[in-house]
Structure 1
Amino acid sequence: MEKTAAPLEGAPASVRAHSRGSIKVEPLTCTIGAELSGVNLGDAVLDDELFAEIKALLLQYKVLFLREQDITRAEHVAFAERFGPLEDHPVAGSDPDHPGLVRIYKDLDSAPEHYENALHTDATWRENPPMGAVLRCVESPPVGGDTIWVNMAEAHRRLPEHIKTQIQGLRARHSIEATFGAAMPQEKRHALGARFPDAEHPVVRTHPETGEQILFVNAFTTHFVNYHTPGNVRFGPDYAPGASLLLNYLISQAAVPEYQVRWRWTPNSVAIWDNRSTQHYAVQDYWPAVRKMERAGITGDRPF
């Protein structure tokens, strides 16, 4: 497996050369996130060396941020497709002229809803959750509407050793029916669940490119599937509270500020994140102001 160095704590800004000049890299926290300047994502569509540099930085910092990216929707999609094929979303849909580009528009014609208000890894209810995403801000509120990302490799690394041992072989279910489908009428919810049956994933996944161990539970995770063993359960009453408390403890690790970075959006700013090793949270504090985003989600592989 390809190994990449983790960001150094307190690392200063650096400059990375590429075929079109240089990229300035400004780490935003000690554990996750860097802002890039001196680069246009439209150029990376056709420049192999530039794209390779951006991908290497993504593996290192897990989420990259850029401002003043005045790119077209076609360029947005073409850049994201350099990572791999794009995927549609069964609930949000995508732009009819640019398949795979999801419009996340919260405007005055939209009823307030709160599906974004949970720390999550995108679409872990899929057998093959997305590898990552490229999100561009079209219109931002004058204040508010930030997004938070979390380093789930760091969350796993800093777990107590006895918890690491306990969860190493555990597997869990992830559900779209119990999340996106929860507000739907029963018949429609059941149809969604039939189309996308709950997926089962390891609680600790291995990153396929860096080899890092990732704590892989989030708001889509409903329960463990192999907790009820003699090592965990003495009597029947141990099962439900023991599993529930452990799962809730693991999910709560994403709320630790030391693992997080917070980004304030401006029009034409972009975030690129590795969905395999992060969670994120769209802060919905801006209603009735308008927030319009466009996201290209990249197909991933089966977690192991």
Structure 2
Amino acid sequence: MTTIAPLDVSTVRGSIGVKPLTCTIGAELVDIDLARAAHDDTLFAELRALLLEYKVLFVRDQDISRADHVALAERFGSLEDHPVAGSDPDHPGLVRIYKDLDSPPEHYENAYHCDATWRQHPPMGAVLRCVETPPVGGDTIWVNMVEAYRRLPEHVKQRIQGLRARHSIEASFGAVMPMDQRHDLARRFPDAEHPVVRTHPETGEQILFINSFTTHLVNYHTPENVRFGADYAPGAAELLHYLMRQAAVPEYQVRWRWTKNSFAIWDNRSTQHYAVQDYWPAVRKMERAGIVGDKPF
């Protein structure tokens, strides 16, 4: 009788151990010190290549300093603050995402989104650390939006070719603000317009690039799409909602269970994520370094 050994899907890429977590997105890295990767050119190059391949990387048990956290993120590019959340006073660009009983009522994380697509140049990615996690719950889901685009029906791909969409901070973070503050936020960060399908600047992949910050399609109202004026609003909205629902397809997702001092590094250009807020009244504290990106095309 032949005994078949259990399948081991882990691999070693250079000096980093890699354990793919799903068939389409995400890998857990082992045998890596992120503090070292922040200062080692060869190790960082390997890390960056893995990020492009798996789109989100996870590492556990990294008890490193905030300075090394920031230094690692800065290897990818300059860091950016957040106009609402702010950042650590001693480490500019390191945003504290602390959820406890005193947290404000906004729940923008528990929707499928790319970070800050309301910017003209949305973030390239982020390095997120778990400082404190609930005993149960508080997972985060990431979605491969390259796969979401690839598996769209061909007639839908043809329909959305060349379409552009508006993304707004006023309609999201600004919605709970008094009117004068909301209008000031909109003046400082006017709605951004991006292609519905963007091209990854490093891999050339096509990406479905709409999310919960997207408010509407801006160039849908053409003779090809609209027979009567009544076609415009519902037709565009129904198409946009259909596209947004693609992020909820489980086959495109990976779900990560946080532990203290675990990290996630993700490519914000090709993914969406959803922070599951199922842990109240427990506390969840995260620190994120967001990396400045380019203008989508």
1:238 maps to 2:231: yes
Which residues in structure 2 correspond to 1:11-160 (within 5 Å)?
Answer: 12-17=9-14, 22-160=15-153
Note if contact 1:11-1:27 (Cα within 8 Å) is conserved in structure 2. no
Deviations 1:36-75 (A, max 9, x none): 0000110011110100000000000000000001110000
Distance (Å, rounded) in 2 between the aligned partners of 1:16 and 1:196: 41
Judge conservation of contact 1:11–1:30 (CA < 8 Å) in 2: no
**TM-score, normalised with respect to structure 2:** 0.96
The equivalent of 1:197 in structure 2 is 190
Which residue of the partner structure matches residue 206 of structure 2? Answer: 213
Separation in structure 1 between the aligned mates of residue 164 and residue 43 of structure 2, nearest angstrom: 38
Between the aligned partners of 1:129 and 1:263, the Cα distance in structure 2 is: 24
User: After superposition, what is the alpha-carbon deviation per residue over 1:135-157, rounded to whole angstroms, capped at 9, x for unaligned?
Assistant: 00000000100000000000000
- Letter paired with 1:33: G
1:117 Cα deviation after fit: 1.4
Q: Which runs of 5+ in 2 are unaligned?
A: 1-6
What letter is aligned with 1:49?
T
**Cα shift readout 1:194-225 (whole Å, capped 9, x = no counterpart):** 10000000000000000000000000000011
Task: Indicate conservation of the 8 Å contact 1:140/1:290, yes or no.
Answer: yes
Q: How far is the alpha carbon of 1:168 from its aligned partner?
A: 1.1
CA deviations on 1:166-185 (whole Å, 9 max, x unpaired) are: 10100000000000000111
Q: 1:111 Cα shift? A: 4.5
C-alpha distance in 2 between matches for 1:160 and 1:82: 38
Partner of 1:6: none
2:296 equivalent in structure 1 = 303
Report the alpha carbon displacement of residue 159 of structure 1 after superposing the two structures with TM.
Answer: 0.1
Code of the aligned partner of 1:129: P
1:171 aligns with 2:164: yes
State the SS of the aligned residue for 1:144: coil
- State the percentage of identical aligned residues: 80
Equivalences for residues 250-289 of structure 1 within 5 A: 250-289=243-282
